[in-house]
Structure formats: C-alpha cells, structure tokens
Amino acid sequence: MSSNETLHVTNGDGALYLLKKAGIPGTHLAWRDALNEGPVPAGLTLEKASGLRARYLAERGYGNPIKLIHDFERRDVQLRRAREFQEVVLWFEHDLYDQLQLLQILTTLEELELEAGQVAVVQADHYLASMTVDEIPPLFRKRRTATAAIFKSARRSWERFTSSSPAELYAAANEDAIGLPFLRTAIRRLCEEYPWTRDGLSRSQRQALEAVARGPASPDELFTRAGAREEAGFLGKRSFARILDELSSGETALVEGEGEQLTPTGLGRRVLAGDADWLDQHAIDRWVGGVHLVPERCVRWDDDAARFA
C-alpha cells in the first residue's frame, strides 16, 4: 500500500491545484484529455488508446509529441497502481469533457478488480476549479462508493461511446446510467457534435460562427460568447481556437480576417441564414468517439427530431 493512502483523480490542473490547496491529502492525478475530440475507437487498452490520443493531440497542435506521450504514460502507470492505495477518489464535473473521462477511468479501474468499496466518486454540478478551498472538504465527505452497478453502467456507456455505430451513442443518450446522474445529458450534447441536417455544422461550430457574426472581438470574448450558449461548458480555449481555425481554412472557409477582426465570409453568412450547407462544399474528416465521419459515411444530427437522420 502506498504511503499516501488515497489516490485522487480529477480532470485537469485547475482542479488538481484546488484539491491540494484545500488540504486534501494523498496522491493527486490529472487526466488531461479532451475525449470529446478526435478518435477513441473501441477495443483498445488504456495504453493503446493513450498512444493514439497523444499522436492526435500532437497533430492538432496541443503539445510536443514526446512530452504528450510521456505524460500519458506516466498518468496510466499511476492509475494502474490503484490497488496500492487504500482508496481511489474520482473528482469529476457534470460536463461532457469530465463525464467521458470518468467513463474511461471507471472502465479501467474495473479491469483491475479492486476490493469492494475501494473506489469512490465525487460528482459536482458546478466547476471544481472555480470553487473555494472551503467548498472542497464537504464534497469529499459526500463522496459515494462506486458500486458494481456503477462500474457496469460506465463500461456499457464507454463501449457505446467508442462504438463505430452512431446508434450506440444515441442509445446511451436515451438511457439513465446507474450512479452517473449527469451522463445522459452529456452524451446527448456529444450527439450534437455531429453535423446537423440544417447546415452541416456541429453545434460547437455553429456557436463559434455565430460568435464571430456578432462583431469584432478578442479571442477571449469570442470564447465567452460561444460558451454562454452552453448548458454545461466543456470546451477549453485551445479547443475553441481549433474550431475557429477549421472554420477559417481553405476555399470553403466560413470565417475570414485576422486577430480581432474576424468576420463571416459570404458562404458563412449563407450557412448561418440556412441558405447553404457547409458539407456540400467542405469534405468532412472528423472523429466523434469511435465514429469516423467522412463524406461517404456522414451521419447527421436532426435537432428538431432529436435523433440521427
């Protein structure tokens, strides 16, 4: 058993810093992966998935590839040592970013066959990094044991998220998961990241384009404008910047300009007005979980019917 009796796992550096500042003792581990972006195919071990994720993030400009691979490897080794701790506490929020991480971690921990009651979960309906140090200890005291039913729900939902069939994701968005009260809404939000039947844009892309259309603004203000449309914000600033880059690239760009002078292109204005479909001119190549969206296999989300078309 580790001399640090509790392993605390959370979403990122902000929450990690707060746990330490609040005096929560033990070993602290940040997960640091936006699983809502890029490939997460089925059937991979944690380590194989991490290698794939590190390469994807490096290709997208999220960090140095060597450092990303090293960070993922160190993270995975620490989680694999979970049985050395008296307790493992998972601290996660209600948004999509956190809920997918929680699924991956619970699925991995289930494989380790830890003792009953060794894993506990703290799920917050507000953002950990924005809380005060005085608000953290009460959350810790209210942690809930991860039961066999919770592990089973997490595995089923993870398998659906990583499936190559959008129908599996849709099933997860319409089923309550035992012990995971925020998951259904989070998965529904992920469904909205498919291109919509209305205009070929995902919800995040549309919100970014609408933020630009409201007038010139700093990158931070554009991020705030788009984020204000979310019921539970999950995109970081770098992810949002990547969306703007994609909307600004190539002959089918929907956004033009530089710095604080971004404006919609003519095509961008037509798409916003509902008079054009971006995917009629733009070749999609994007992953959502285990689904690879390409022109010949492009499932769309019908928001009016709340289902895949």
Encode pLDDT of 158-182 as tens digits: 999 999 999 999 999 999 999 999 9
Helix (H, G, I), strand (E, B) or coil at 75: helix
Helix axes 46-59, 96-111, angle to 10 degrees: 150
How far apart are alpha carbons 211 and 224 in whole angstroms?
9
Please state, in angstroms and rounded to a whole number, the distance separating the CA atoms of residues 55 and 240. 19
CB 100 within 8 A of CB 186: yes
Residue 260 has pLDDT above 60, yes or no: yes
pTM, full prediction: 0.96
Q: What percent of the chain has pLDDT over 70?
A: 99
pLDDT at 1: 41
| Per-residue confidence band for 4, with pLDDT thresholds at 50, 70 and 90 | low
For 229-242, b/e burial (b = at least 16 CB within 10 A) is eeebbbbeeebbbb
What does the DSSP 8-state code read for residue 196?
A: B
- pLDDT-above-90 percentage for the chain: 98
Domains and CATH numbers, the chain: 6-189 (3.40.50), 196-283 (1.10.10.10)
At 78, which amino acid appears?
Q
pLDDT in tens, 32-68: 999 999 999 999 999 999 999 999 999 999 999 999 9
Query: CB–CB of 285/238 below 8 Å?
Result: no
Does residue 157 contact residue 187 with C-beta atoms inside 8 Å? yes
Residue 307 has pLDDT above 90, yes or no: yes
